[in-house]
Chains A and B, each alone.
Chain A
Amino acid sequence: MIEVEKLTKYYGPKAALIDASFTVKKGEIVGLIGLNGAGKTTAMRILTGYMPPTSGKARVASYDVVEKSLEVRKRMGYMPESTPLYTDMSVRDYLTFMGRIKGIDRRSIRHRVDDVMKKTATTSYSNNLIGTLSKGYRQRVGLAQALIHDPDVLILDEPTVGLDPQQVHEVRKLIKDLAGKHTVILSSHILSEISMICSHVIIIHEGRIIAAGAPGSLSRGNTVRMVVRGPERDVRMKLGAVDKVVKVGCKSVESGLGTFDVDCAPGADVRERLAHAVASNGWGLLELSSGGISLEEEFLALVKKEVRI
């Protein structure tokens, strides 16, 4: 649905995006993640046709975003960062206007507006001025506006920023419900959010894509984390001797408590044997969890590694 090839964007001499390439399949929810200023918004603005790349190509539904911009825009719903809205219009008037300029005809517009207001739970505010709505409801109206013409592709720039936890939860649920029917690209700098909603993650750092894949594949494989009370060197040796264990790393030792990351062969579940190894040596096992390192740690590690290079 979306193909991006070696996209590069310079603002003057400053590069905002360098050689970014990725593809998004139909119905996927893809998260762009990166620190502030990493190039997420730039990538999105290029995809929406708001501005062209300095070099490289991007296609949405097989239309080039520069040459066939109007065709792309017909198929795209966009919610810019900080959700700009006309504050002096009522929700209904605003959605009607946005729907009309996106090509919905006069007869079906009323029905479409009712439909998206229901979907975004804004029906009870339909006659309120947007300026009087809370941030959470504005965000919903912004989302409703993006959905109004039932676009194939949705581009959402930081859709949950500035919301309270309840609203964040609701907006996330809303976005998740869109998967399958719509292809969604969203950006965020909250990793847990991305791993919750997205089927695919792209990590951008200083304009470059430094990692991409499913949220699970980004967390470092099959790792078991253990907190053990015992002498560090002995623990490492004994754990390393367990069958199918590849490597044991010690993360930290604090007042006799060592935190160990045990990398195991793919597919192997050695948790019981690890527990046994600790117990049979008379050490204390305080914690044992699998699932590897969280995306958050991985992200920070990737960013740090990149910086060091």
Chain B
Amino acid sequence: MSNLLTMTGKELRSHFVSPIAYAVMAFFLVLSGFFFATAVLFSQDSSLRYVFSDMSILLLLIVPLITMRLVAEEKKSGTIELLLTAPLRDGEVVLGKFLAALVFLGVMLAVTGYYALLIWIFGKPDWGAIISGYLGTMLLGAAYLSLGLFTSSLTQNQIIAGALGFALLMLFFLISWVADFTGPQFSGVVRYLGFTDHFDDFTKGVIDLKDAVFYISVVAVSLLLTVRVLESRRWK
């Protein structure tokens, strides 16, 4: 446990000293702020429903930028060799990196909390929908982050890790489109794999355990795969 905390702390530190993190955060806040302003202005809607939908697309672009260096950079510089020969489990390394990225995402989303504050000052916010929206965005973000972390472990080139991560996220994001062409026997499965269908309920204020389980499963599988990739050097 203490190992995990140490690992998370170190990763968190490296997020916040890196200029990439601030650029990414600024990019996210400017665009989501723009979407918030236009959504409130034109829809006169006091839920943050549209903002959350926009965020889910923004995160698609941003998460690979956050995750691409996580493992790839350590592979390139060789520091991974020190981590993996310290008395740490591979799982602790991966989980520490994931948790730190999740905290970073949490901080970024927390800054957008002033949207809700503004609505509260000037109107009547639907707190239930806002809380479930944030919960859904965090879950979706966690799934994105875990996939990004996985692609980062595959290569020592950050650009390749980022591009691969983006492609993988796009695939999961757009896969439900395919459901229109597949026969009825497959469309259910394909639709289930898509990220967006599970997300929509959260933005409407519905917390469905089924959806939460979906995202958590994606996280679990991705992290497990990442651990396996790190372990693969031990295969004979």
Contacts and interface: CB of A to CB of B under 8 A. Distances in A.
A282 to B, nearest CB: 64
B81 A84 contact: yes
Nearest to B93: A101
A73 B7 CA distance: 17
Interface centre among B18, B87, B89 (most CB of A within 10 A): B87
A86 interface: yes
B104 to A, nearest CB: 15
A101 B79 contact: no
B44 interface: no
Given A54-B236, A100-B6, A76 B79 contact: no
B118 to A, nearest CB: 36
B14 A101 contact: no
Nearest to A105: B2
Interface stretch (A44-52, A170-178, A189-197, A298-306): A44-52
B121 interface: no
Contacts of B7: 101
Interface string B151-185: 00000000000000000000000000000000000
A35 to B, nearest CB: 22
Interface string B62-87: 00000000000000011101111111
Interface in A75-130: 76, 78, 80-82, 84-89, 93, 97-98, 100-103
Given A51-B233, A97-B6, A80 B87 contact: no
A138 B3 CA distance: 25
B57 interface: no
Given A54-B236, A100-B2, A100-B6, A73 B79 contact: no
Interface centre among A52, A82, A85, A86 (most CB of B within 10 A): A86
A73 B87 contact: yes
A52 B2 contact: no
Contacts of B14: 86, 88-89
Interface centre among B2, B14, B85 (most CB of A within 10 A): B85
B10 interface: yes
Contacts of B82: 78, 80, 84, 98, 145
A146 to B, nearest CB: 9
Contacts of A78: 81-82, 85
B5 to A, nearest CB: 9
A73 B6 contact: no
A82 B76 CA distance: 12
A70 interface: yes
A145 B3 CA distance: 17
B234 interface: yes
Contacts of B17: 88
Nearest to B88: A101
Contact of B77 (A45, A84, A100): A84
B77 A73 contact: no
What 6 A-B pairs come out closest when comparing CB atoms?
A: A84-B78, A100-B6, A73-B87, A48-B85, A84-B79, A74-B87
Interface of A: 45, 48-52, 54, 70, 73-74, 76, 78, 80-82, 84-89, 93, 97-98, 100-103, 145
Interface of B: 2-3, 6-7, 9-10, 13-14, 17-18, 77-79, 81-89, 233-234, 236
21 contacts: A50-B233, A51-B233, A52-B234, A54-B236, A74-B87, A76-B85, A78-B81, A78-B85, A80-B81, A82-B78, A84-B78, A84-B79, A84-B82, A85-B79, A89-B13, A89-B14, A93-B13, A98-B86, A100-B3, A101-B7, A101-B88
